[in-house]
């Protein structure tokens, strides 16, 4: 089974996004990640349009609130037919369980498959020192990520979002089949940008990632289709 490469659609509006995606032939329908910037500008209609065009959609909203509020949110999001949806593991087991329940309720209401919920552990923009200072903790990045991944697994969500540096530890400390999806991916030689923990697609695969999120290495490439295909091949080699 081919492991997914999600293209981060970090564009300011739908017009710019479609200008990018129109470069892909109908035979190539990559998985795409829609984040806050685009979703808050264009709304649910954008997700519907992407699904109608045959794209696998990962909606990255990083939900984090009291359990009931998150349950109602995932219920509405699931009705859009999204394939993946992010929530914050730091919300705790009860919030994560509520998110899963809401997603199933929403999907059942319209006859679609419920999205796979992916729990955010620690943002890949965080260094260990910054995490410790911000969250007033003394544990290592590794310990924190493992703990949050275990909470997510306990709650029954599909997997986590974390750096590839933590993928092996996540797999070693969670049940079989629990996913480790990793952002912070760049081709060798590309600019790191605002990410602190960055690896290449091949290295992410070696480290145990089940899927990767790639932005600028594809969206800013001279030939985005070729860049996507190169990364997909490298990651699944």
From 122, 121, 124, 117, select the one nearest 183 (Cα to Cα).
124
The single residue listed with the structure tokens 């992410």 is 204
* Residue 6, H or E segment: strand 5-8
The first and second tokens of residue 172, run together, are: 């070693």
Q: Which residues are catalytic?
A: 62
Query: What span, in angstroms and rounded, lies between the C-alpha atoms of 102 and 212?
Result: 26
Query: What span, in angstroms and rounded, lies between the C-alpha atoms of 85 and 201?
Result: 22
From 115, 107, 46, select the one nearest 87 (Cα to Cα).
115
What three-state secondary structure class fits 76?
helix
């Amino acid at each position: 089974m081919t492991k997914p490469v999600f293209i981060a659609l970090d564009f300011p509006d739908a017009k710019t996004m479609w200008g990018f995606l129109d470069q892909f032939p109908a035979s190539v329908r990559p998985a795409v990640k829609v984040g806050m910037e685009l979703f808050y500008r264009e709304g649910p209609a954008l997700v519907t349009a992407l699904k109608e065009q045959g794209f696998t959609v990962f909606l990255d909203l990083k939900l984090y609130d009291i359990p009931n509020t998150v349950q109602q949110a995932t219920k509405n999001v699931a009705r859009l037919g999204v394939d993946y949806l992010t929530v914050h593991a730091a919300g705790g087991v009860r919030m994560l369980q509520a998110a899963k329940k809401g997603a199933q309720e929403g999907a059942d209401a319209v006859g679609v498959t419920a999205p796979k919920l992916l729990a955010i552990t620690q943002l890949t923009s965080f260094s260990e020192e910054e995490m410790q200072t911000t969250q007033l903790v003394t544990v290592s990045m590794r310990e924190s990520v493992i703990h949050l991944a275990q909470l997510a697994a306990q709650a029954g969500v599909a997997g986590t979002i974390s750096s590839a540096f933590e993928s092996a530890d996540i797999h070693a400390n969670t049940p079989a089949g629990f996913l480790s999806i990793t952002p912070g991916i760049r081709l060798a030689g590309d600019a790191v940008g605002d990410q602190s923990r960055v690896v290449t697609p091949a290295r992410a695969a070696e480290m145990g990632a089940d899927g990767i999120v790639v932005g600028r290495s594809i969206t800013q490439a001279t030939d985005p289709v070729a860049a996507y295909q190169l990364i997909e091949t490298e990651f699944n080699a």
